[in-house]
Amino acid sequence: MSRYLPAIAALLALTPAFAHASEARAKTSRLATDNCSEIGSSMVSNAPASPAYGATQLQCGQQLVLRLERETGRVGNNPVWTPVDQIVMTKPTPRHELLGPGYCSSSQFPDDATIVALGTMAEQADGSYGSENVVAAWRFDLKREKMVAIPVNGVLCAVDGGD
């Protein structure tokens, strides 16, 4: 019996890690930063002729980390993501949040749907929500695989009341 204990212990130690990886859609490579937890993710681009890109938001103590990731393979049906760039930021107030792509736009980059901002949201008279107090903004430059800071003037994030 004692000769099997190391093998059983190794299997028991690995079982939760493999179970988590399959549930997390192969996101184990996304959480390389110590003492961080994933609080959100979104697709940035999924064009058929190019690699898929996603963004993952991590909470690391008092700081937020936004990671740009490229799909580099698959494990079964699950994508494998490789970080290509990241931004570390501190929220100026507890109400500030990262406002993601698909909801934000910039008058300086009108055709770019990959704008993210750090700001707050406020309910509007029509029941929708709009950004206010935007303190920082970035756009995903997928050709260079970078997140580039952009001016906050002209950045607007909005969500319909039904969303």
Burial class (CB in 10 A: 0-12, 13-18, 19+), 93: exposed
pTM over 0.75, yes/no? no
Would you give per-residue pLDDT tens digits along the chain (163 residues)? 444 333 333 333 333 333 333 333 333 334 346 789 999 888 888 888 789 999 999 998 888 999 999 999 999 999 999 999 999 999 899 899 999 888 899 999 988 888 999 999 999 999 899 999 999 999 999 999 999 999 999 999 998 866 5
CA dist., res. 128 & res. 155, Å (int): 17
Q: Helix, strand, or coil here: 19?
A: helix
Structural domain count of the chain:
1
- Note whether 39 and 59 are within 8 A (CB): yes
Three-class DSSP category at 14: helix
pLDDT for 2 equals 44
pLDDT at 7 (0 to 100): 38
Determine the pLDDT at residue 162.
60
Print the domain residue range for 73.
5-159
Instruction: Give the bridge partners for 35, in sequence order.
Output: none
pLDDT at residue 46, rounded to an integer: 80
Contact 33, 39 (CB under 8 A): no
